[in-house]
Amino acid sequence: MADALLQIDGLSKRFGGVIASDAISLAVPKGQLHAVIGPNGAGKTTLIAQLAGEIAPDEGRIHFDGSDVTALTVDRRSRFGLARSFQITSLFLDFTALDNVALAVQAHAGHSFRFWRAARREEELCEPARAALARVGLAGRGDVIVSKLSHGEHRQLEIAMALATSPRMLLLDEPMAGMGPEESARMVKTLRELKGELTILLIEHDMEAVFALADRITVLVYGRIIASGPPEAIRANAEVREAYLGEQEVAHG
């Protein structure tokens, strides 16, 4: 795909005898929301970690906006416009919510070799941070120490931090993990608003959310892509139903 923002070619990663990524190739065009689903242990988080630069692939290349980013470090990729959120909440727990997001803004506001002015008083950092908080529904919660926020709020803050880096693409690792139905619904709403504006790679177990949001879905099983296509095609795919969706379809009656 010529206009793909993210292009992955033959990405492979082994951990000892376990093949976490088996020649994964996929392309995400600009503005699309591409969901990756698969059972536990299918290698979804490993895929995100390779895209974000935390794990180096054994083989394969990753192109972002036409440039090969395979060898770039995590922070370089972030400054390039690739932002990730974490499946297991990864925040600055001893800081306020606003501090958390302001740090993400600061990371993209030039270098931080500034030693004198109080960062918390810089409107240049606080204002975009407040905007990002409002965007995910955390307006008014900025002054709360993060360890005192609820799990759902942590998940929202994860997204706010990724957004605050003004990314071109979001890599979201199970943003709805552990959320109640109400919180999930709010997250779906947030993601729907972001869709189109940003390119998104979404890993999620909540099938309802995935089928509601995704333009394309890729199904990963044991590190291998077994199907990729628009939601209707995936829903109809016999192999996918057998490998993954089956049990849930039954559960839904």
Ranges within 41-60 binding other proteins (CB under 8 A): 52, 54
- What CA–CA distance (Å, rounded) separates 30 from 45? 22
CB 207 within 8 A of CB 37: yes
- 190 binds other proteins per the rule CB under 8 A: no
Question: Which of 163, 210 has the CB closer to other proteins?
Answer: 163
User: Applying CB under 8 A, does 147 fall inside the site for other proteins?
Assistant: no
Question: Scanning residues 70 to 99, which ones bind other proteins (CB under 8 A)?
Answer: 73-76, 78-79, 83-84, 86, 90-95, 99
| Pairwise CA distance, residues 235 & 133, whole Å | 35
CB 200 within 8 A of CB 194: yes
- Our finding on whether 184 is near other proteins (CB under 8 A) is no
Residue pair 185/209 in contact (Cβ under 8 Å)? The answer is: no
CB of 242 to other proteins, least distance (A): 36
**x-or-dash string of contact with other proteins, 162-181, rule CB under 8 A:** x-xx----------------
- Residue 144 interacting with other proteins (CB under 8 A): no
> Contact, 118 vs 129, CB < 8 A?
no
Enter the DSSP assignment of 145.
B
What CA–CA distances, in Å, run from 19 to 35, 42, 222? 21, 9, 7
Which residues have a Cβ under 8 Å from the Cβ of 156 and sit 6 or more positions away? Answer: 136, 137, 138, 186, 187, 190
Number of residues that bind other proteins (CB under 8 A): 40
CB of 25 to other proteins, least distance (A): 25
Nearer to other proteins, 12 or 166 (CB): 166
Q: Which residues bind other proteins (CB under 8 A)?
A: 52, 54, 73-76, 78-79, 83-84, 86, 90-95, 99, 102-104, 106-108, 112-122, 125, 161-162, 164-165
